C-alpha cells in the first residue's frame, strides 16, 4: 500500500514536470510578431517573423519594423488561430482571430487570400498582453495593436476608432 507521503511526493513531482514543460513550451514555440508601415498604401501589417522575409517587405515599400508581441506557432490551451486577409481595393491587410467575422462576411466585403499567421489565447496568459483591433475610416485601414504599444489617445488623434479586443499574446518569452 502507498503511503500518503509517497503519493504526495509523486503528485508534486508530476505537477512540477507539467509546470516545467509548460515553461519550455513558451521558449520553444513562441515567435516574434512585428508591425510594419507602408506609407504609399497607408497600411499597417502585423506579421509573425516567419511569414514574409524583411527584404521582400522593404522591396514592397514597408518600413518602420516594430516588435509587437510573441505568438505561438502551435495550438495553445484556450487558443484561437489568427489569420491575415488582403483587401485589394483598399490595399489593406487585416489580422483577425478565427470567428471575429465569418469568412463569408469578409469575402462579401472584398477580402481575400486568407492566410494562417499564428495562435493566440482567448484568455489571459502569463507575461501576456491584450491585443486590440482599431479602424481608421478615412483611409479604410485596420490595425492590430498590443495594449500600451500606442496609447488610446494617440490612436484617436490618428483618426482610429472602434477599438475591439482580439486576443491575448505574450509580451515576453
Read off the pLDDT of residues 122-137 as tens digits, 9 standing for 90 and up.
999 999 999 999 999 9
Q: What is the pLDDT of residue 115?
A: 96
77: pLDDT strictly greater than 50: yes
Distances (CA, A) of 99 to 14, 34, 69, 82, 104: 36, 23, 21, 9, 11
Percent of the chain, pLDDT > 90? 72
The Cα 2–Cα 50 span in angstroms is 50
Grade residue 90 by pLDDT with cuts at 50, 70 and 90. confident
Residue 68: count other Cβ atoms within 10 Å of its Cβ. Answer: 19
Confidence of residue 63 (pLDDT cuts 50, 70, 90): very high
Task: Give pLDDT, residue 173.
Answer: 80
Number of DSSP helices (H) and strands (E) in the chain, helices first: 4, 9
Helix or strand (DSSP H, E) at 161: strand 161-170
Q: Tell me, what DSSP letter sits at residue 76?
A: -
Dist. CA 114–CA 81, nearest whole Å? 12
Distance CA 23, CA 19 (A): 6
pLDDT of residue 17: 40
What mean pLDDT is reported for the chain?
86
Q: Judge if pTM exceeds 0.75.
A: yes
What pLDDT, on the 0 to 100 scale, is given for residue 5?
52
Dihedral of the alpha carbons of 113, 171, 32, 106, in degrees to the nearest 10: 0
Say whether pLDDT at 139 is over 80: yes
Q: Is residue 38 scored above 60 in pLDDT? A: yes
What per-residue confidence (pLDDT) applies to 1? Answer: 56
Q: Is the pLDDT of residue 83 over 90?
A: yes
Three-state secondary-structure class, residue 120: strand
Amino acid at each position: 500500500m502507498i503511503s500518503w507521503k509517497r503519493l504526495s511526493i509523486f503528485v508534486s513531482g508530476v505537477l512540477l514536470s507539467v509546470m516545467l514543460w509548460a515553461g519550455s513550451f513558451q521558449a520553444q514555440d513562441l515567435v516574434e510578431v512585428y508591425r510594419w508601415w507602408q506609407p504609399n498604401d497607408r497600411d499597417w501589417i502585423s506579421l509573425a517573423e516567419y511569414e514574409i522575409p524583411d527584404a521582400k517587405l522593404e522591396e514592397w515599400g514597408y518600413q518602420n519594423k516594430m516588435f509587437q508581441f510573441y505568438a505561438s506557432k502551435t495550438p495553445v490551451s484556450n487558443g484561437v488561430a489568427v489569420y491575415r486577409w488582403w483587401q485589394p481595393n483598399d490595399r489593406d491587410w487585416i489580422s483577425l482571430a478565427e470567428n471575429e467575422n465569418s469568412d463569408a462576411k469578409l469575402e462579401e466585403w472584398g477580402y481575400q487570400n486568407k492566410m494562417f499567421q499564428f495562435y493566440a489565447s482567448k484568455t489571459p496568459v502569463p507575461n501576456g498582453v491584450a491585443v486590440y483591433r482599431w479602424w481608421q475610416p478615412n483611409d479604410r485601414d485596420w490595425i492590430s495593436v498590443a495594449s500600451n504599444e500606442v496609447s488610446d489617445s494617440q490612436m484617436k488623434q490618428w483618426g482610429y476608432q472602434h477599438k475591439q479586443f482580439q486576443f491575448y499574446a505574450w509580451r515576453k518569452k
